[in-house]
Amino acid sequence: MRIPFDPSEIELATTSRGVFGQTVKTYKFPVSPKEAYKSLYRGEPIWQLMGGESLLFAPRVIPDNIARGMVVDGSRYPAAKDHEINADMFGIEWEFIGSANGAMVRPGAPTLLDANDWKRIIKFPDIDKWDWETNAKENTEYLDTDKYVQFWFQTGWFERLISWMDFESAAFALVDDEQSDAVKEIMFALSDLYIRIFDKCLTHFPQVDGFCIHDDWGGQKSCFFSPDVGEEIIVPAMRKVTDFLHSHGKFCDLHSCGQNVKQVPNMIKAGWDSWSGQPVNDTHFEYDQYGDGIIIGVIPDEIPENATDDEARAAARLYVDRFCNPAKPSMLNGQRMGINEAFRDEVYRLSRIAYNP
């Protein structure tokens, strides 16, 4: 779909604040942000998506969103308070830490000591008892948008194992010959549960366009487990979920923190459509190496605060020339807050032209 660029698209732009306090710029888009997102995932980008085109949706009906202090929906559920404790869908208690703006399970008292005991110790939730209908009614207005509705799902596969076992024991269980088979069973049992949850979401929140599922795989320097371990134990279970969502016409974004460049091939094998890594990743290398198989959120080179508008526009041209290839599209990864406004405007303008030659 070729849509020529009109300069008024920038001249009539407006700004607002995003969920995380960032500046969100809305241009006079030639199509809705929803359609632009879907076009990108279909391999037909219209402009370089910058984050403001999507609507974050983390409904209170999912207990993990309450436990993790991350309810973002139309229910007006109160924000988590410092040191507030809530239970997730498995009854595991999480404590919200205000200074970190996040929640964690207090380490030192794991629910599961040996993965082989999971069927006896872990009680899976009865999701039919969750109040889906009420939460759906609460979100009628919130989800009435022309933005791409992205359903955030906290606590994926390895993260879930950590919540039960603490980090060290969970990491060991992946490679322990006496536990690894049980861990594989756990991964698929979680996938079956998540598919049932997502099926409920598709029924009660038909406005959802795609799913962003969280599973952190790395730290500051490297990944938590080897690519071979990830491919054997986690990837097959993940693929079951992404195949299900794709069969319903939904797109799949992986949220995975840490230095995970070694795991990108596994992300592709697991069926993820996109991934935006943190600044500890060399997203330029990841785009060059793997951008044919997964849409990479590419972080721009940092622009000095005292840069002139001309310098910012020159940086934008370099960015677009390299990363806005119609045959190999990407997204702009805005995890460095405060992207220069002149840079943002020029990326939009030039990407419109590059993607619509």
CATH code of the domain covering residue 219: 3.20.20
> Residue 334 in contact with residue 51, Cβ under 8 Å?
yes
Strand pairing report for 102-104 and 93-97? antiparallel
60-98: per-residue pLDDT in tens? 999 999 999 999 999 999 999 999 999 999 999 999 999
Task: Give the separation between CA 117 and CA 179, rounded to whole angstroms.
Answer: 10
12-27: per-residue pLDDT in tens? 888 877 666 667 789 9
Query: Higher model confidence: residue 14 or residue 185?
Result: 185
Q: What percent of the chain has pLDDT over 90?
A: 91
Q: Is the torsion defined by CA of 88, 94, 95, 96 positive or negative?
A: negative
Name the 3-class secondary structure at 167: helix
In a domain, 2, yes or no: no
Mean pLDDT score, 41-59: 95
227-251: per-residue pLDDT in tens? 999 999 999 999 999 999 999 999 9
Query: What pLDDT band is residue 336 in, cutting at 50, 70 and 90?
Result: low
In a domain, 56, yes or no: yes
Residue type, 2: R
Task: Please report where in the chains the tokens 């697991």 appear, as a residue.
Answer: 270
Lowest mean pLDDT among 23-27, 193-197, 293-297: 23-27
Query: Two tokens at 268?
Result: 């592709």
Average pLDDT, the chain: 95
In a domain, 292, yes or no: yes
Return the pLDDT at 337.
56
Return the pLDDT at 16.
73
In a domain, 344, yes or no: yes
Lowest mean pLDDT among 24-28, 150-154, 222-226: 24-28
In a domain, 93, yes or no: yes
Q: Could you give the residue ranges of the DSSP H alpha helices within 43-111?
A: 63-67
Return the pLDDT at 109.
95
In a domain, 3, yes or no: no
* Residue 105 lies in domain: 8-355
Return the pLDDT at 18.
65
Task: Give the separation between CA 29 and CA 39, rounded to whole angstroms.
Answer: 14
Q: How many CA atoms lie within 13 A of 94 on its CB side?
A: 28
Query: Higher model confidence: residue 1 or residue 354?
Result: 354
Lowest mean pLDDT among 34-43, 90-99, 176-185, 299-308: 299-308
Residue 221 clears pLDDT 60, i.e. is over it:
yes
Q: Which residues pair with 93 in a beta bridge?
A: 87
Domain count within the chain = 1
- Specify burial of residue 252 (Cβ count, 10 A radius: 0-12, 13-18, 19+): buried
Return the pLDDT at 15.
81
Return the pLDDT at 23.
72
Query: What pLDDT band is residue 339 in, cutting at 50, 70 and 90?
Result: confident
Query: Two tokens at 318?
Result: 């370099």
Mean pLDDT score, 187-211: 98
In a domain, 272, yes or no: yes
In a domain, 282, yes or no: yes
